[in-house]
Amino acid sequence: MDVGLIIERTPFEHRIGLTPGGVQALTEKGHRVYVESGAGREAGFSNLAYTESGATIVYSDEEVRLRSELMIRLSPPTPAECEAYTPGQIVITAWHLAVASADYFKGLLDGRITSVGYEIIEDDDGHAPVLEAMSEIAGRLAVTIGAGLVLNEFGGKGLLIGGAPGIPPASIVILGAGTLGCEAAKFARGIGAHVVVLDNDINALRRVQSVTADEIPTMIATRPRIEKALAFADILLCSAAVHGERTPTLITRDMLELMKPRSVIMDLSIDQGGCCETSRPTDFSAPTYEVDGITHFCVPNLPSTASRASTRALTNAMLPYVLEIADKGFDRAVRDNPAIRRGTYTYDGHCVRRGLARTFDVPYHEIEKDGG
């Protein structure tokens, strides 16, 4: 199979779809990989590293697209890029189609693009390997960035997140005990912050307490308990999410008045719409804004800021699926592997994800294991 990697042109996206090692795993099995010149530069991977791994360097994204059956990218293609894809072309990326426009989604169906989303690939044990790998990195980065946001120079209250002898630490309230929230909790507690975690899933809360040796208080996320936690939060880190669907609104604007002035909301579920009524996507050119005296940080795709580490983690998680698609072809791989099937949004002009079909009011088509 012919596989393509391009320069990501979305601002602040610094990763590439595969490391040179991932490329070598493909080329050693006879697959051709085309890499746009400079595509790995931001992640610290040179053209030479890719050519030594067996890739062919080409000099435009158009050439990569025209040569490739399978495109591996990080950002969703623009509508114009979608129109340029050929029917049946496979595009693996972080589509986040639950928050896409109806016109954009219709374009995928009309163009007969096969869309596979990192964020919805799920194995038989209920784990989302790619999403979890990125969430582990995002959770650690969130605490690192949050430590800066509470400093005076960044509009904060002048707190030291881990405290010091005789000085209390900052209080971090984490809403959502999935992989991202759990990693953030571990990392924040490890540097001395006071941490509280809320979630509606008691087993998720048990997992947080297990990995932190019961050092972190946990609560079921009822509205009264959320409101109680907001009153002492210096940082509210929102990581609540519904797999493959839009995030529900859990923090309304009127709840902001419960928070102390100059406290910080970090809405890391913004990729899926955000769980705060007052959240809107930002980027690192202007990462924060203020609503009712509360600083909001709503930058999606945090792992890209650690592009080399994230590209390696992405390759580790995604390479087995890429190899299976390349070896078998998509038609067979999607029927043989339930994880790939669950990770597919559109296929052969059909919506093959039930919840998305409801969202966009289009027919749902089930991919049969036997090829039906």
Q: How many CA atoms lie within 13 A of 85 on its CB side?
A: 26
Helices (H), ranges, the chain: 20-27, 47-52, 61-67, 79-84, 102-110, 129-149, 179-190, 202-211, 223-232, 307-328, 330-336, 338-342, 354-360
Tokens describing residue 360: 């966009």
Among the listed residues 278, 174, 151, the one whose alpha carbon sits nearest the alpha carbon of residue 225: 174
Q: What is the pLDDT of residue 308?
A: 97
Active-site annotation holds for 96? yes
* Count of other CB atoms within 10 angstroms of residue 86: 12
Q: What is the pLDDT of residue 98?
A: 87
Angle at CA 342, nearest 5°, toward 69 and 98?
Answer: 90
Q: What is the pLDDT of residue 244?
A: 67
Task: List the domains of the chain with CATH numbers.
Answer: 2-121+306-360 (3.40.50.720), 135-300 (3.40.50.720)
- Given 96, 194, 199, 267, which residue is catalytic? 96
Q: From CA 123, how far away is CA 363, in angstroms rounded?
A: 25
Q: What is the pLDDT of residue 371?
A: 47
- Please, what is the angle between helix 129-149 and helix 307-328, to 10°? 170
Tokens describing residue 362: 């289009």
Among the listed residues 83, 113, 119, the one whose alpha carbon sits nearest the alpha carbon of residue 99: 119
Active-site annotation holds for 271? yes
Average pLDDT for runs of 10 along the chain of length 372: 96 96 98 98 98 98 97 96 96 93 96 96 93 95 97 93 96 96 96 97 95 92 97 97 82 97 96 94 95 96 95 97 98 96 96 94 88 44
Strand-by-strand arrangement of the 171-175 sheet? 218-220, 194-199, 171-175, 235-238, 264-267, 294-297, 288-291
Tell me if 306 sits within 8 A of 167, measured CB to CB.
no
Tokens describing residue 75: 């950002």
Tokens 């946001």, residue? 149
- Given 199, 234, 267, 271, which residue is catalytic? 271
Tell me if 75 sits within 8 A of 50, measured CB to CB.
no
Q: What is the pLDDT of residue 272?
A: 86
